A and B are shown apart, each in its own frame.
Chain A
Amino acid sequence: MYEVVAFYLFSVLTIGLFLVTVMSKNVLYAMTSLAAGMVLISGFFFILGADFLGVVQLIVYVGAIMALYSFAMMFFDATKDIKEKNTSNALVFLLGGLSALVLVLMFSAPIHSDAIQALYPMHEGVGNAQDVGIVLFTKYLVPFEVAAVMLLVAMIAGIILAGKKMDDSLTEDLSADDEILTQKDEK
């Protein structure tokens, strides 16, 4: 019963928040609703019994990625609305709907076959984190290490790309500086 209520609550809220993300003209609104939607998605993971995945979703997505976005927001002017020349909405929604239909067919095709069998079954009485750890460090050890190297490469690339010429002003708004200086002089 609780599961049903939680599922419908989470799905309605997540869909609404992500619609705000996609439709909003303001970057700050979009980012905030994206973060809230990701918190609710971790709720889905907790319902599904994937506790460790939910915690990782909270830490990595809501913690790290959203913090990265909000730091990057300091470089761009986030307060003004984005003006976009949108293509015709009807065409976009038609294409989006058609691709969603194809997606549902792709997802549901293997479900109707009985060929699926569990490769790494979950164990009763063992916590999800233990189960995940055992599979991750035995069967998926090499992809895990490759992912670690990939994160290191991404970190170095981010530092190199963003860190160059950090002392230059991005907004190039020298008049604001002059204004502050004259105000200081008047005092």
Chain B
Amino acid sequence: MIGLSHYLIVSAIIFSIGLVGVLRRRNLLMLFFATEVMLNAVNIAFAAISHYYNDLTGQMFAFFIIAIAASEVAVGLGLLIVLYKKYGSLDLDDLASMKG
């Protein structure tokens, strides 16, 4: 039988996949994809906890996370388009303007 810990382990694995993506990617669009992966992992955890504790609060938080993800993508893609117009590249190493 599938318990809560199964879901939490899957969620943690997916979250760490997204985290590895955020750490090793240099392209801004790929960083966005990795962020989406992390948000989805958290949603799985919320839905699983909501189911196993018979409580609706987890699902509510998942709804608000989805709304936040949607607005993040809208604003972020606008910023990416502006950056691409200005620099012609989405690579973080090319975009670094402060040489430290």
With beta carbons under 8 angstroms apart, the residue of B1, B73, B90 that contacts A69 is B73
A138 CA to B39 CA, complexed, in Å: 26
Are B59 and A3 in contact, with the CB atoms below 8 A? no
Q: How large is the interface on A (under 10, 10 to 19, 20 to 34, 35 or more residues)?
A: 35 or more
State the main secondary structure of chain A at its contact with B. Answer: helix
Contacts of A111 on B, CB cut-off 8 Å? 4-5, 8
Residues of A contacting B23 in the complex (Cβ-Cβ under 8 angstroms): 87, 92, 95-96
- Expressed in whole angstroms, the minimum distance between the Cβ of A84 and any Cβ of chain B is 4
- Cβ-closest chain A residue relative to B55: A118
The distance from the CB of B4 to the nearest CB of chain A, in whole angstroms, is 7
Asked if B64 and A143 sit within 8 Å, CB to CB, the answer is yes
Whether A92 pairs with B30 at a CB distance below 8 angstroms is no
Whether A48 and B51, one on each chain, are in contact in the complex, defined by CB atoms closer than 8 angstroms, is yes
Q: Are B9 and A61 in contact (CB under 8 A)?
A: no
Whole-angstrom distance between the alpha carbons of A95 and B23 in the complex? 9
Minimal Cβ-Cβ distance residue in B for A104: B12
Say yes or no for A64: interface residue by CB 8 A criterion: yes
A86 with B66: CB separation less than 8 A: no
A-B Cβ contacts below 8 A, count: 219
Contacts of B64 in A (CB 8 A): 143, 147
Tell me whether A60 and B70 are in contact in the complex, defined as CB-CB below 8 angstroms, given that A21-B37, A95-B23, A143-B64 are known contacts. yes
A131 touches B56 (CB 8 A): yes
Check B71 against A154 for contact (C-beta < 8 Å): yes
Q: Which of A's residues lie within 8 Å of B, judged by CB?
A: 3-4, 7, 11, 14-15, 18-19, 21-22, 27, 30-31, 34, 37-38, 41, 44-45, 48-50, 52-53, 56-57, 60-61, 64-65, 68-69, 72, 75-76, 82, 84-87, 89, 92-93, 95-97, 99-100, 103-104, 107-108, 111, 116, 118-122, 131-132, 135-136, 140, 143, 147, 150-151, 153-155, 157-162, 164-165, 168, 170, 172
Residues of B near any A CB (own CB < 8 A): 1-2, 4-21, 23-27, 29-30, 32-34, 36-37, 40, 43-45, 47-48, 50-51, 53-57, 59-60, 62-64, 66-75, 77-82, 84-85, 88, 90-91, 93
Q: List 21 A-B contacts (CB under 8 A).
A: A7-B2, A21-B33, A22-B24, A22-B34, A30-B33, A37-B37, A50-B50, A52-B59, A61-B36, A65-B69, A65-B70, A68-B77, A72-B29, A87-B24, A96-B23, A103-B12, A107-B11, A147-B67, A154-B70, A154-B75, A155-B74
